[in-house]
Amino acid sequence: MTDRVVAAFDFDGTITTSDSFRAFMLETAGPARFAFAVLRCLPWLVGVAPGWSERGRTKARFLYAALGAVRRETLDAAAQRFVAHGLPALLRPEMLARVREHQALGHEVVLVSASPSLYLRKWAATVGIETVLASELEWRDGAYTGRLAGRNCWGPEKVARLRAWWGEHAPSTLYAYGDSRGDREMAELANHAWIRGTTPLPPLAARGGFGAA
């Protein structure tokens, strides 16, 4: 019986106050190109909430509409600037404190997000999070193709990514933190789940050993 304890955090709306991808795109593309991309992708953007449009494909299409076949090094530099200057204003201090509490207890903290790993991995490194399970952009010959590489890390895919990550070494205790429908399956998998606005933060324990939720 393992005593491994894992704390899985969604990012947008959970650790942040708003959508980080929107903020990243606005900062990177600028207001004019951002507005152009919104107009060009409006039918797909409107269709996301009722399920008419696939979330990941729409996200990828929007980035391409705003930036085109941008070079990887260019977008990487933009991600670094965003992490340094744009992203800090979106972070929730109480959730950063929660991350630190888990780390202080020796728990493994993992970020599980539908947003692109492009900037999430850079941010995670600044707070000592080593594992990021997120949506990946597709590149060809160093340029963005307009598609995701693999599935959008949302809903059931979050559970699939977690299971693939821990493999045969599943934790005895899983904490899951989220804020939306996209975190439901991850919350159902956890021993201790928290969805913003529904319950208080769960108490923390230094070791595992609890039964499955």
- Kindly list the domain boundaries of the chain, sorted by start residue: 5-195
* Per-residue pLDDT at 48 exceeds 80: no
Minimal CA–CA distance to 109: which of 91, 119, 123? 123
Q: What is the mean pLDDT of the chain?
A: 91
Instruction: Give me the pLDDT at residue 197, please.
Output: 81
Residue 12 in tokens: 């947008």
Provide mean pLDDT across the span 123-142: 97
Q: Are 19 and 182 in contact (CB under 8 A)?
A: no
* Per-residue pLDDT at 146 exceeds 80: yes
CA dist 133 and 206 (Å) reads 24
Sorted by sequence, the CB contacts under 8 Å of residue 111 that are 6+ apart come out as: 8, 9, 11, 120, 124, 129, 131, 132, 133, 134
Looking at the domain that runs over 5-195, which CATH code has it been given?
3.40.50.1000
Residue 193 in tokens: 């789940």
Residue 190 in tokens: 């956890």
3-state secondary structure at position 5: strand
Q: H-type helices in the chain, by residue range?
A: 20-29, 31-48, 55-67, 72-81, 93-104, 117-126, 156-166, 184-189
Confidence label for 211 from pLDDT (cuts 50, 70 and 90): very low
Instruction: Give me the pLDDT at residue 213, please.
Output: 33
Provide mean pLDDT across the span 38-54: 81
- 134-145 pLDDT per residue, tens: 999 999 999 999
| DSSP one-letter code for 212 | P
Q: How far is CA 203 from the centre of its chain?
A: 23
Instruction: Give me the pLDDT at residue 42, please.
Output: 85
- 160-184 pLDDT per residue, tens: 999 999 999 999 999 999 999 999 9
Confidence label for 2 from pLDDT (cuts 50, 70 and 90): low
For the whole model, what pTM was predicted? Answer: 0.91
